[in-house]
Amino acid sequence: MNPPMRFTSVHQSLTFSRRMLVVGGAQAAVAGALVARLGWLSVKENQKYNLLSEDNRVQMILVPPRRGWIVDRGGKPIAINRSDFRVDLIPDQLKDAGRTVAILTELLALTPDEVDRINRDIKAARGYQPVQVAENVPYERYAAVTVRLPELPGVQPMRGFSRFYPAGPAVAHLVGYVGTPSAEDYQKSKDPLFLTPGFKIGKQGLEKTLEPNLRGTPGGQRIEVTASGRLVKELDPKPDRSGGTVQLTIDAGLQEYVARRMGDNSGALVALDVDTGDTLAFVSMPAFDPNSFSAGIGRTEWRMLSEDDHKPLINKVSQGLYPSGSTIKPAMALAFLKQGIDPRQRVFCPGGLRIGNRFFSCDARHGSVDMHVAIERSCNTYFWAMGLRTDPELTTEMVNYLGYGQEFDQLPISQRYGTMPNPKWLEKKYKRKWQGFDSANTSIGQGYVLINPLQLAVMPGRLASGKLIQPRLLAGARRQRIAPVAVDPEHLAIVRNAMAAVVNGSGTAVGSKLPLDGIQMAGKTGTAQVFRLTARGVANSNWALRDHALFIAFAPADKPKYAIGCIIEHGGFGASAAAPIVRDSMTYLFDQEKAWATLEPLEKQWGGSLAERNARQAAAFKAAAQVPPAASA
Amino acid sequence: MISSAIIPQPLARLPWRLIFLIMGIGLFGLVNLYSAAGGSIQPWAMRQGAALLLFLSLAIALSKVREETVKQLVIPIYGSIVIMLVLTDMLGFVGKGAQRWLDLGIIRLQPSEFMKPTIALMLARFYELLPAGDIRSFRAIWPAAALIGVPAGLVILQPDLGTGLMVVFAGVTVMFLAGLPVKWFLIPGGAIAAAIPIIYQFLLHGYQKKRIDIFLDPESDPMGAGYHITQSKIAIGSGGLFGKGYLQGSQSHLQYLPEGHTDFAFATLTEEWGMVGGTIVVLAYLFVIRWAMKVAANAPTRFAQLSCAGLAAVLFSYFAINLLMVMGLAPVVGIPLPLISYGGSAVMTVMICLGLLMSFERQQRTRSTLS
């Protein structure tokens, strides 16, 4: 320590002056820092804060944009908007929320569930965000609300739009449906539009995948509001821009015809233009009604649909996988030809073939058959024998090349693309070598072969046109150059001739000739085993155990324009269940009147048109569901 | 000084430049309050104007008081304010809530306001009485620490952290200027810095803790407790260089800026007048404080020196803490910007400080003319 020094008032005064400088300097420094900070905030960061201030000041009462239309290749509407009435309320402007909700409950006949939801929304609402009371309000109820508006401040009866699908279930699996965004949807996007009453997003099908095209940009009334949400003044409104129209390659008439022609069957049908790959029909039946889904489906209807063993909620065209059965044979034949098999070479069919220690039995004793007859009469023995004579690697590659097991990734639709097995795949998946019976199974479309109905149409399309067409759905999509199928055109002609004979010669589908002059259809039947209880489950009385019926076709046989692939679940023989439906659908493409004339008596026999039968089914289910709960307890 | 034959001597001898500066700041404040009320002199501008005039008269009256009188009164005044603080805290304890006001029946007093100038005078008086040789001993410290600590503690207990800090700040400035060894500031300063986490953890109230959390990261809760700072920064930042124009501030007019007429009046002002307006206010305050510091530097007696510097410190801390808070550089502690923010008590305190400073200044001049 320093020796204590005498500290006098002179020292004190000096210290004071020095320290005054320090204090004064510190004060000046702080003031300088304040000015610097002020400059930082108001000049350097000005833009950021200006934006935030505008965000505060201006709010937008969003008006959901009108959703774009979906139309068919001819411009016929598939999904459009219908104006409807809706009632919203603006929580900020409510005088007496409880009373208002009570009056609305009475006027609009709201259910307790809905009232709960409205009360929850009112509590959660912030600022000028409107809350939906009811949509799709019938005109009388809407009018009743309008009349009492003076005593209901904050209630907004409005014209809104709802999605309408004129063809109903016929397009259900193609376009899907729309619905109110879920809480997760909002969490993902954080878009305030998602909270706007009346706004719907695509939930399934094309409505979902084409959402960016269809949505449009919301407009709205821009308003200046205080922090507590009080309206100060209205600024100029921002108009909404409706979503773009999407044109499909679908032929809406054909689509509806096919859907109705399917009757009560559970199945799928795809029709293609063989030159362009344009998808003309994309039908999965039975189906739900997208109109009632878009309006918010009731519990009863949902239960009816999900309990149905015909699975109306599943899109069988892209999600259903089936063994291809004998429809694989034309592709197989082409593969054999490419590997040098002489089409005139004959195989004797004694009603089956022994491969290894197992006897594979054919449908009939076909006797001595060449390739043409083998396709025409669907002789398994020929294909087993040839399958064993050729290289399975090359054979399966050709079938896959023609479409089976392929995924068409330019389609805006999610697909399960099944399996076209080959030796490498087998090695990898099941760790075993390809055996003779694998060749045999694959040759007739059984075993591991799994395809979807889309592929079922692409394959005959490619055979028919000799072009590697890709199925298209969007008319506006860029057309790609279509490569030819890399085979000898003569080989294709052989296969096409054989397929023409299937329908027009003495083949398996002679009952399904087109009722048209000068236009012949070529095809191939298929029957896919579902259950191996009996050798053939065709006659099984249990529907769910019966075989799937398949049919592929193109027409006209001599100058192909259209190709169709069709599967009828548990339909039995391909010739009896699937081929007539394909025949009538194909007829529609050439002569609509004739096609409708065929359908009329059929529908009478089934008990009314599709819409009528659906309505009856729903009514029956509702009646059954309304059995007092005591009965079920 | 204005010298004219027409103006009577006592009036002419007032420090008019300071008074004009003060009135200028006050007027800017009134103009701002008119805007904050949405373009109306009601409810704030009118009453604030009245308060300004009333307390300016009080300041001028105070400027007539002699230093000797101040010296004699400071100890009893200090003592009675401490007693009032104790009473306030007891009432608050009984009333189970924050208690800053002492209701005397006819008027309601906020004793902590009076403590701000009083602490400066009290410490100046203490160091005047302390023999010069003792300034480096422990005797120079502990009584001063107690003189600051007791009222500051009582104020913080109310709880009013902002005012408590101002009392400490003014007191410590006087201690520093009195010539205490620098180590006495550095060592406790370091200790306090080290103790801040502990204070934060155990001594602060929930809402005070939250304010500090929010200060460190206002965007963590922009709609909740961070709302004040966030909105204030938006108001200031969106003003730009020249502001949005008078009566055009959307943040304040649409009530996004909370307390736009009181604690955050500076944000209201800069939103409409921009950086230019804000800088003018800062400079005006700086001139007032520089004037006060000059009075201190020229003071002939130790009591006057320390008193004036202490009062300058009170003025400075008012303005600095408020602006640091409004611009997001300090936690929200609830200190208004005197003369600009609406509220009579801040005006009163500032005018008491200025009145006392004017009195010291007047006596310098009279003395200098005599000698």
The reply to whether B171 touches chain A by the CB within 8 Å rule is: no
In the predicted model, what is the mean pLDDT of residues A152-181?
Answer: 88
Task: Say yes or no: A270 and A215 in one domain.
Answer: no
Q: Do A38 and B241 touch (CB under 8 A)?
A: no
Q: Which two tokens stand for residue B335?
A: 């200190």
Comparison of pLDDT for A336 and A409, the residue scoring more:
A336
Which residue on chain B is closest to A4 by alpha carbon?
Answer: B136
pLDDT score of B101 more than 60: yes
Task: Say yes or no: A459 and A430 in one domain.
Answer: yes
pTM metric for this prediction: 0.66
Contact B63, B55 (CB under 8 A): no
In the predicted model, what is the mean pLDDT of residues B215-244?
Answer: 80
Task: Say yes or no: A456 and A368 in one domain.
Answer: yes
Q: Centre a 10 Å sphere on the Cβ of residue B35 and count the other Cβ atoms it contains.
A: 24
Residue A459: the pLDDT is: 95
The mean of the pLDDT values for chain A is 87
| Banded model confidence at residue A305, pLDDT cuts 50, 70, 90 | confident
Q: Is B230 part of a structural domain of the chain? A: yes
Q: Is B250 part of a structural domain of the chain? A: yes
Q: Is A31 part of a structural domain of the chain? A: no
Q: What is the CATH number of the domain that holds A85?
A: 3.90.1310.10
Q: Is A618 part of a structural domain of the chain? A: no
pLDDT score of A3 more than 70: no
pLDDT score of A81 more than 80: yes
Cβ contacts of A617 within 8 Å, gap of 6 or more: A304
Contact A495, A329 (CB under 8 A): no
> Burial code of A110-136, b = ≥16 C-beta within 10 A, e = fewer?
beeebeeebeebbeebebbbbbbbbbe
Minimal CA separation from B184 to chain A, in Å = 14
Task: Say yes or no: A488 and A532 in one domain.
Answer: yes
pLDDT score of A483 more than 80: yes
Q: Cα dist. A478→A275, A276, A282, A481 in Å?
A: 15, 12, 20, 10
Torsion sign (Cα): B3, B6, B7, B9: positive
Comparison of pLDDT for A94 and A173, the residue scoring more:
A173
Residue A447 φ/ψ region, left for φ over 0, alpha for ψ in the -120 to 50 degree band, beta for the rest: left
Q: Is A447 part of a structural domain of the chain? A: yes
Task: Say yes or no: A492 and A596 in one domain.
Answer: yes
Number of separate domains in chain B:
1
Comparison of pLDDT for B286 and B230, the residue scoring more:
B286
Q: What are phi and psi of A60, to 5 degrees?
A: -120, 130
Residue A32: the pLDDT is: 94
Out of A4, A37, A50, name the one closest to residue B238 (CB).
A50
> Using one digit for the tens of pLDDT, what is the confidence trace for B11-27?
777 888 899 999 999 99
Q: Is A40 part of a structural domain of the chain? A: no
Q: Which two tokens stand for residue A357?
A: 């220690």
> Using one digit for the tens of pLDDT, what is the confidence trace for B323-369?
999 998 888 888 899 899 998 888 999 999 999 999 999 988 865 44
DSSP B306-331: HHHHHHHHHHHHHHHHHHHHHTTSS-
Contact A282, A585 (CB under 8 A): no
* Beta strands at A219-225 and A231-234: parallel, antiparallel or unpaired: antiparallel
Tokens 């020196």 belong to residue: B305
Torsion sign (Cα): A38, A41, A46, A52: negative
Q: Is B2 part of a structural domain of the chain? A: no
Window B:283-312, CB contacts with A under 8 Å: 285-286, 289-290, 293, 296-297, 302, 305-306, 309
Task: Say yes or no: A374 and A423 in one domain.
Answer: yes
Q: Centre a 10 Å sphere on the Cβ of residue B258 and count the other Cβ atoms it contains.
A: 15
Contact B118, B353 (CB under 8 A): no
In the predicted model, what is the mean pLDDT of residues B213-222?
Answer: 67
Q: Is A364 part of a structural domain of the chain? A: yes
- ipTM comes to 0.91
Percent of chain A with pLDDT over 90: 47
Q: Is B159 part of a structural domain of the chain? A: yes
> Burial code of A527-555, b = ≥16 C-beta within 10 A, e = fewer?
bbbbeeeeeebeebeeeeebbbbbbbbbb
In the predicted model, what is the mean pLDDT of residues A514-525?
Answer: 92
Domain coverage including residue B177: 9-370
In the predicted model, what is the mean pLDDT of residues A98-119?
Answer: 87
Residue B223: the pLDDT is: 61
| Banded model confidence at residue A628, pLDDT cuts 50, 70, 90 | very low
> Using one digit for the tens of pLDDT, what is the confidence trace for A313-340?
889 998 889 999 999 999 999 999 999 9
Q: Do A23 and B327 touch (CB under 8 A)?
A: no
Residue A276: the pLDDT is: 93
pLDDT score of A521 more than 70: yes
Residue A611: the pLDDT is: 81
Q: Is A47 part of a structural domain of the chain? A: no
In the predicted model, what is the mean pLDDT of residues A479-492?
Answer: 90
Chain B residues in contact with A11 by the CB 8 A cut-off are 132, 179
Number of separate domains in chain A:
2
Task: Say yes or no: A234 and A280 in one domain.
Answer: no
Helix (H) or strand (E) holding A199: none
| Banded model confidence at residue A186, pLDDT cuts 50, 70, 90 | confident
Task: Say yes or no: A224 and A324 in one domain.
Answer: no
Q: Do A20 and B297 touch (CB under 8 A)?
A: yes
Residue B204: the pLDDT is: 75
Nearest to A580 by CA among A341, A178, A265, A173: A265
Out of B177, B234, B323, name the one closest to residue A34 (CB).
B323
Residue A633: the pLDDT is: 34
pLDDT score of A552 more than 80: yes
> Using one digit for the tens of pLDDT, what is the confidence trace for A162-176?
899 999 889 999 999
pLDDT score of A584 more than 90: yes
Q: Centre a 10 Å sphere on the Cβ of residue A440 and count the other Cβ atoms it contains.
A: 23
DSSP B47-96: HHHHHHHHHHHHHHHHTTS-HHHHHHHHHHHHHHHHHHHHHHHHHHHHHT
Minimal CA separation from A469 to chain B, in Å = 57
Q: Is B172 part of a structural domain of the chain? A: yes
> Using one digit for the tens of pLDDT, what is the confidence trace for A590-599?
999 999 999 9
Q: What is the CATH number of the domain that holds A588?
A: 3.40.710.10
The reply to whether B318 touches chain A by the CB within 8 Å rule is: no
Please list the residues that pair with A369 across neighbouring strands: A347
Q: Do A227 and B324 touch (CB under 8 A)?
A: no
Q: Is B4 part of a structural domain of the chain? A: no
Task: Say yes or no: A224 and A263 in one domain.
Answer: no
Q: In angstroms, rounded to a whole number, what is the distance separating the alpha carbons of residues B308 and A350?
A: 125
Q: Is A538 part of a structural domain of the chain? A: yes
| Banded model confidence at residue B229, pLDDT cuts 50, 70, 90 | confident
Q: Centre a 10 Å sphere on the Cβ of residue A480 and count the other Cβ atoms it contains.
A: 10
The mean of the pLDDT values for chain B is 86
pLDDT score of A540 more than 60: no
Percent of chain B with pLDDT over 70: 88
Chain B residues in contact with A49 by the CB 8 A cut-off are 233-234, 236-238
Window B:100-119, CB contacts with A under 8 Å: none
pLDDT score of B150 more than 80: yes
Q: Is A34 part of a structural domain of the chain? A: no
pLDDT score of A617 more than 70: yes
Q: Cα dist. A491→A339, A455, A463 in Å?
A: 11, 21, 10
Residue A629: the pLDDT is: 45
> Would you give the DSSP letter of residue A474?
B
Domain coverage including residue A391: 252-297+316-604
Out of B231, B239, B293, name the one closest to residue A42 (CB).
B239
In the predicted model, what is the mean pLDDT of residues A344-350?
Answer: 93
In the predicted model, what is the mean pLDDT of residues A209-213?
Answer: 91
> Using one digit for the tens of pLDDT, what is the confidence trace for A439-470?
999 999 988 999 999 999 999 999 999 999 99
CB pairs under 8 A between A and B: 137
Q: Is B258 part of a structural domain of the chain? A: yes
Cα distance from N-terminal residue to C-terminal residue, chain B: 19
DSSP B86-150: HHHHHHHHHHTS----EE-SS-EE-HHHHHHHHHHHHHHHHHHHS-GGGGGSGGGTHHHHHHHHH
Q: Do B274 and A11 touch (CB under 8 A)?
A: no
Q: Do A56 and B250 touch (CB under 8 A)?
A: yes
